[in-house]
């Protein structure tokens, strides 16, 4: 049933909203996995099981990302449907959440094993930042669910899918919206815990601002150099999908 529904969705989207989908392909990027914050020193003699789980989750994420990039390349050549890209994108999101969860679990284990004076605050801060990192991915999952719902609405209005199939897709979208709300509430609750414990520096520092000042113009031609030339990174090894469907 699901395979048939996805096939119908793909056909309709390609025919009815193909231009919009193609234009939206380069407008968003799937949020990548992160490094746990606060940083916890790693002692390789402890938390070995957690370290193995991180390796497993990393392999799963790498595979999902490679599959997504291949699907996107096929789409750009007209050999795959937008629905295929969204399905692959969703798998990248799921794998990214699993990888983040494994990384934060290892960091928490390492913190407990080291037992520093601020152990409790570090654990509270780790959970807060895990939730914050997960929110960005959850919001991407919600965007995918909305794209599926929008496509299904077009089909339903054309009597191309049943009311049951349409309701299933709508329920998936409603569930995704609630998941975003859940993570947001959990962030609020966790931040309250860090405040009550008087924990400091619980938020990941913002990256330094990028300078927008234009570089000075020189009338002297710059010498040509090949010493800093680097080869382009293959798409399958890119840490972030090159582009994703926006609808």
CA gap 88, 68 in Å, rounded: 5
Pair 29, 243: CB distance under 8 Å: yes
- Cα 111 to its chain centre, rounded Å, is 26
Interval 230-246: pLDDT, tens? 333 333 333 333 333 33
Q: What is the overall mean pLDDT for the chain?
A: 82
Q: Look up the domain containing 113 and give its range.
A: 20-203
Count the domains in the chain: 1
- Indicate whether 189 belongs to any domain: yes
In a domain, 78, yes or no: yes
pLDDT band at residue 87 under the 50/70/90 scheme: very high
In a domain, 222, yes or no: no
**Buried b vs exposed e over 4-15: b needs ≥16 C-beta within 10 Å?**
ebbebbbebbbe
Tokens of 119: 């152990």
**Domain-located, residue 130:** yes
- Asked if 89 and 241 touch (Cβ cutoff 8 Å), the reply is yes
CB 46 within 8 A of CB 113: yes
- Structure tokens that stand for 116 in this block: 């520093």
Contact between residue 100 and residue 130 where contact means Cβ atoms under 8 Å apart: yes
Q: What is the mean pLDDT of residues 70-75?
A: 96
C-beta neighbour count of 238 within 10 angstroms: 14
53 inside domain: yes
Q: Single out the residue of 110, 119, 116, 152 nearest to residue 247, CA to CA.
A: 152
In a domain, 89, yes or no: yes
Q: What is the CA 169 to chain-centroid distance, rounded?
A: 21
Q: Is the pLDDT of residue 7 over 60?
A: no
> Is there a cis peptide before residue 96, judged by omega within 30 degrees of 0?
no
pLDDT tens string 158-186: 999 999 999 999 999 999 999 999 999 99
Please check whether residue 38 is in contact with residue 125, taking contact to mean a CB–CB distance below 8 angstroms: yes
pTM for the whole structure: 0.76
Residue 38, preceding peptide bond in cis (omega within 30° of 0): yes
Residue 135 has pLDDT above 60, yes or no: yes
Q: Name the band, by pLDDT with cuts 50, 70 and 90, for residue 214.
A: low
Q: What percent of the chain has pLDDT over 70?
A: 74
**Model pLDDT for residues 12-65, shown as the tens digit of each residue:** 444 333 323 333 343 357 899 999 999 999 999 999 999 999 999 999 999 999
């Amino acid at each position: 049933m699901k395979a048939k529904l996805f096939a119908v969705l793909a056909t309709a989207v390609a025919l009815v909203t193909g231009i919009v989908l193609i234009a939206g392909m380069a407008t968003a990027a799937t949020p990548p996995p992160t490094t746990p914050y606060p940083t916890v020193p790693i002692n390789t003699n402890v938390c070995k099981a957690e370290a193995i789980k991180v390796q497993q989750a990393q392999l799963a994420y790498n595979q999902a990302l490679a599959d997504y990039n291949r699907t996107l390349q096929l789409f750009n050549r007209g050999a795959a449907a937008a629905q295929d890209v969204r399905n692959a994108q969703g798998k990248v999101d799921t794998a990214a959440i699993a990888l983040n969860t494994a990384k934060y679990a290892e960091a928490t284990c390492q913190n407990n094993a080291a037992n520093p004076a601020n152990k409790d605050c570090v654990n509270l801060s780790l959970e807060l930042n895990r939730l914050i990192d997960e929110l960005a991915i959850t919001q991407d999952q919600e965007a995918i669910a909305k794209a599926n719902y929008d496509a299904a609405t077009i089909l339903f209005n054309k009597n191309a899918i049943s009311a049951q199939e349409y309701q299933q897709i709508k329920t998936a979208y409603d569930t995704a919206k609630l998941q975003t709300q859940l993570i947001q509430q959990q962030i609020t609750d966790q931040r309250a815990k860090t405040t009550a414990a008087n924990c400091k520096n619980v938020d990941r520092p913002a990256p330094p601002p990028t300078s927008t000042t234009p570089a000075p113009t020189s009338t002297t031609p710059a010498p040509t150099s090949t010493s800093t030339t680097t080869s382009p990174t293959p798409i399958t090894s890119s840490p972030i999908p090159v582009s994703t469907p926006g609808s």
